[in-house]
Amino acid sequence: MPATPDPDPAAQPAAPAAPVADGRPYSPGLEGVLAAETSLGLVDGANGRLMYRGYRIGDLVANGTYAAVANLLWTGTWDPRSHMAAGRVPSAVLSALRALPRTTKPMDALRTAVSVWGATQVLDWPPSEVHARAITAFSPSALAAFVRLRQDLEPIDPDPRLDLVSGFLFQLTGERPDPATARALDAYFIVGAEHGLNASTFAARVITSTRSDMASAVAGAIGAMKGPLHGGAPSEVVEQIHRVGSPEHAEQWVREALARGERLMGFGHRVYRAYDPRATALRTVVEAMPTKPDWLELAIKVEDVALRVLEEKHPDRPLKTNVEFYAAAVLQGVGLTPDLFPATFALARHAGWTAHVIEQASANRLIRPDARYVGPGERDLPA
């Protein structure tokens, strides 16, 4: 919907300056603070539920596509026939990607591409569904172009007949993916599309609240997701499962790892106290694949063993599978290298980021929290 303009600051009476009240509560990291209202997603950690605009994530994965889910987040309308193909990469972006060192991390390349893309577009205020569709379609093509350039290969133009996820895989390899592979990655994109007011989404809303543009908000969100506390866990799951080696070694490895006090990656979550519903949806898709790569078979075995051993050792502390476990299984299973995992997560989250940008702009208020001053008292400069 069109944004409601903020009042002109010049026409408003100036508020008197006042110190921050000492009695107000301080919440490090804003934990537990309600900073926004949203109709986009509900994360119910206590009961292991995730819904997009009221629809259960498992139903969306079973019956929809990433294009349909993105359209739902942007418009509020469920249309399973929605189609979205990968977009073209402007020459200015290709030039920037060619200039990057081959050692550049994919997240840095994606952030750079989004910034350059934004400089080539007319992104007026308020940000719109048109902007959201354009940047969500562009970014997979840009990441695929960078991956090929660092391999000394030329980028591949998008095929408009393919949907976004199949098109991304095609632009990476030059080969059209088989339906099962495309389906698995599309399911990953769906479960990664939206997850409440996480760090990167909050960053996007803060940037939007200043009346900046869609590309700036997404570039800032990518910067937030680049941090290992947000977007890096699936690659650690891959390393862990590689150390297990084979299904018959799974139980011994899990028990020895716990005896050494090691954390099992892919289990436990800051929000969910029940089995992560995104992991449930991804496992359902993985188990339905007609032929599963050996790596996926191993992941399923490791999960079954880990859940049984964790419940045995920690009966009073629920440590259930989180989305990173099956995200790693899917991303590895479709042939992506671990260094691409965070950037692929960012591609999936574009639908949610841009939906939050539109929602923030629709009833905008500048996000400007206070800080409690804890420095020295008023004093004179030394002579």
Q: In whole angstroms, what is the distance from residue 359 CA to residue 115 CA?
A: 21
Tell me what the pLDDT averaged over the chain comes to.
89
Question: Encoding tokens for residue 331?
Answer: 């991303």
Note whether 167 and 86 are within 8 A (CB). Answer: yes
The yes-or-no verdict on residue 10 having pLDDT over 80 is no
Residue 5: predicted pLDDT = 43
Q: Which range among 43-57, 318-332, 334-348 shows the weakest confidence by mean pLDDT?
A: 318-332
Q: Which range among 168-172, 231-235, 324-328 shows the weakest confidence by mean pLDDT?
A: 231-235
The yes-or-no verdict on residue 189 having pLDDT over 60 is yes
Question: Encoding tokens for residue 113?
Answer: 């591409």
Note whether 113 and 97 are within 8 A (CB). Answer: yes
Residue 1: predicted pLDDT = 39
Residue type, 224: A
Q: In whole angstroms, what is the distance from residue 73 CA to residue 76 CA?
A: 6
Architecture of domain 66-229+337-362: Orthogonal Bundle (1.10)
Cβ burial, residue 86 (10 Å; 0-12/13-18/19+): buried
User: Which residues are catalytically annotated?
Assistant: 269, 324
Give the tens place of pLDDT for each residue, 277-288: 888 888 888 888
Note whether 321 and 267 are within 8 A (CB). Answer: yes
More confident residue, 309 or 194: 194
Cβ burial, residue 380 (10 Å; 0-12/13-18/19+): exposed
Q: What is the DSSP letter of 192?
A: T
Say if residue 376 is preceded by a cis peptide, omega within 30 of 0: no
Domain 233-333 grouped into CATH 1.10.230.10: yes
User: Any idea where the domains of the chain sit in the sequence?
Assistant: 66-229+337-362, 233-333
Q: In whole angstroms, what is the distance from residue 238 CA to residue 240 CA?
A: 5
Give the tens place of pLDDT for each residue, 213-272: 999 999 999 999 998 878 766 677 888 888 888 888 889 988 998 889 888 877 766 665
Q: In whole angstroms, what is the distance from residue 17 CA to residue 115 CA?
A: 37
Ranges assigned E (strand) in 96-169: none
The yes-or-no verdict on residue 7 having pLDDT over 60 is no
Beta bridge partners of 43: 50
Residue 226: predicted pLDDT = 93
Residue 87: predicted pLDDT = 98
Q: In whole angstroms, what is the distance from residue 324 CA to residue 329 CA?
A: 9
Give the tens place of pLDDT for each residue, 291-314: 767 777 788 888 888 888 888 887
The yes-or-no verdict on residue 353 having pLDDT over 70 is yes
User: CB count, 10 Å around CB of 356?
Assistant: 27
Give the tens place of pLDDT for each residue, 85-144: 999 999 999 999 999 999 999 999 999 999 999 999 999 999 999 999 999 999 999 999
Q: In whole angstroms, what is the distance from residue 213 CA to residue 124 CA?
A: 7
